[in-house]
Amino acid sequence: MITTWLSACLPALCLVLPMQETVRKTNEATKAQEKTMAWKSLLEKEVWKPETNGGLPYRMMRPENLEPGKKYPLVIFLHGAGERGNDNEVQLVHGVKDFANLGARKKYPCFLVAPQCPVNKQWVQVPWSSPSHDMPPKPSQPASLLVGLLDSLQKTLPIDADRVYITGLSMGGYGSWDLLARQPERFAAAVPVCGGGDEKKAERMKNVPIWAFHGGQDGAVPVSRSRNMVNAVNQAGGWAKYTEYPEVGHDSWNACYADPEMMAWLFAQVRTSKAR
């Protein structure tokens, strides 16, 4: 009788156990999705539409608790080539969550702007695989729109003009170097990740603290681009730091943005009178 009972129950047990495992995995996936949606919901969807020159989608995070009369840092985050588009969503894939997590928001309350570059355009119109480039005479259309957006935000929000920071990865690393060269007086610090700039413009950046990052095995952007920019800025009398991850490829942004030392350094920087 026991044997008969077990024989009858075993098929049911075999069905129940896989079903329980499926439910467990579904619940875990749902929780992970809810967690992702939770931090993304902190970044409001906006579009900057000046009277001319098209529009620029962007996401903006505000400090958790805005205190009357207090001003806050502004972080500009420039995404890479793979996140271009017009959905105002995919530019959050890398790096932004490290600024939006609970610990960072408590420790470093700030405004954060993450614009989205259109497909087939760049933050700076230069080839990424070249050993060097000359800075174009004019900023790209997306970069021009971004400058207009920043001008507007700094007029309308309680932003500390002495604590405006720029960072970006890959294509956004190039964009960070480019905007820093064009408007060094705007920024208190820069964190370009696996990008490159025009070394001949290093003199312009010498009064802005810079911490550049790159992977030693990067196959997309030559590691020499970051090395050469840092050397050029320091030879001009600047304050550039450099971290190279010897065994990392193109995705050096993962280690960079997860580094608490980088975060502490960034938010400690204040624009000097020389940089204004």
Q: Are residues 61 and 123 in the same domain?
A: yes
The first and second tokens of residue 33, run together, are 């999705």
Other CB atoms within 10 A of residue 117 CB: 28
What percent helix, strand, coil does the chain show, rounded to 5? 45, 20, 35
pLDDT at 30: 39
Q: Are residues 102 and 193 in the same domain?
A: yes
Other CB atoms within 10 A of residue 35 CB: 11
**Which contiguous run of DSSP H or E holds residue 176?**
helix 171-182
pLDDT at 152: 97
Q: Are residues 170 and 180 in the same domain?
A: yes
User: Is-contact 43 112, C-beta < 8 A?
Assistant: yes
Q: Are residues 85 and 23 in the same domain?
A: no
Q: Are residues 8 and 103 in the same domain?
A: no
Please report, for the domain that includes residue 63, its CATH number: 3.40.50.1820
pLDDT digits (tens, 9 = 90+) for 124-175: 999 999 999 999 999 999 999 999 999 999 999 999 999 999 999 999 999 9
Q: Are residues 109 and 126 in the same domain?
A: yes
pLDDT digits (tens, 9 = 90+) for 172-215: 999 999 999 999 999 999 999 999 999 999 999 999 999 999 99
Q: Are residues 1 and 119 in the same domain?
A: no
Q: Are residues 148 and 11 in the same domain?
A: no
Three-class DSSP category at 24: helix
Q: Are residues 213 and 144 in the same domain?
A: yes
Could you list the residue range(s) of the whole structural domain that residue 31 is in? 1-41
**What is the count of structural domains for the chain?**
2
Q: Are residues 24 and 134 in the same domain?
A: no
Q: Are residues 30 and 52 in the same domain?
A: no
Mean pLDDT throughout 253-274? 94
% of residues, the chain, pLDDT over 70: 84
Which CA distances in Å does 226 have to 76, 98, 169? 19, 22, 12
Q: What is the pTM of this model?
A: 0.86
Q: Are residues 36 and 96 in the same domain?
A: no
